[in-house]
Amino acid sequence: MGRSQLEKQKTHEKIVETASRRLREEGLEGVGVADLMKEAGLTVGGFYKHFASRDDLVAEAIQSAFDSWGRKLEADGIDPAKMTAADVADRYLSAYHRDNPGEGCPFAALTSDISRGDDKARGIATERLRLNFEALASKASGADAERRRKAVIAFAMMAGGVGLARISSDEALSAEILETVRDFVAAIDK
């Protein structure tokens, strides 16, 4: 790959990563192209060298946000397949995740936004739901149908739990939400 192509690829990745973080912090409607490009240190005119539309950027940013979990685990030397349900719950239902939406799960930050998004964004989210359910089901006990049921309930509780913990202005209540959901999810393998 030539130098200019490599630079273009790096710039593209920078825009996507910036958008991924900002979308999780501010929602899909909270981020404008001009602000995003300024934060990335680029001009608005350069946006269309990388994306056909804002919707294309949003779809890539959402995909990047979903992929960030795996990248974080890899950077920490953790194999997701070897994690227990308790390990997943401890990482997901943490004060750090609650307090840093720009680095966290898009489901906890953007569920209602994605539900109103275009087909591409919703398709990406739907595929990730399937993958998350499969991964959690592999950590649950019981017959296949029961494992799947536990996984769906556990993931819905995790995403909702982080969202509710973020809403609470009462630190004790916020911590209680995280701890209660964490205990429930950690027990799906029993």
Q: The domain that contains 146 carries what CATH number?
A: 1.10.357.10
Identify the pLDDT of residue 164: 98
Tens place of pLDDT for every residue, the chain, 190 residues? 666 888 889 999 999 999 999 999 999 887 789 998 998 888 888 898 899 999 999 999 999 999 999 999 999 999 999 999 999 999 999 999 999 999 999 999 999 999 998 999 999 999 999 999 999 999 999 999 999 999 999 999 999 999 999 999 999 999 999 999 999 999 999 9
Identify the pLDDT of residue 30: 76
How many folded domains does the chain comprise?
A: 1
Identify the pLDDT of residue 45: 87
The structure tokens 């959901």 sit at 181
145-165 burial string, b = 16+ CB within 10 Å, else e?
Answer: eebbbbbeebbebbbebbbbb
Written as one letter, the residue type at 65 is A
How far is 104 from 79, CA to CA, in rounded Å?
18
The structure tokens 């990388």 sit at 50
Domain that holds residue 54: 3-186
Identify the pLDDT of residue 158: 98
SS3 content of the chain, % helix, strand, coil (to 5): 80, 0, 20
Record the tokens describing residue 130, joined without a space: 């399937």
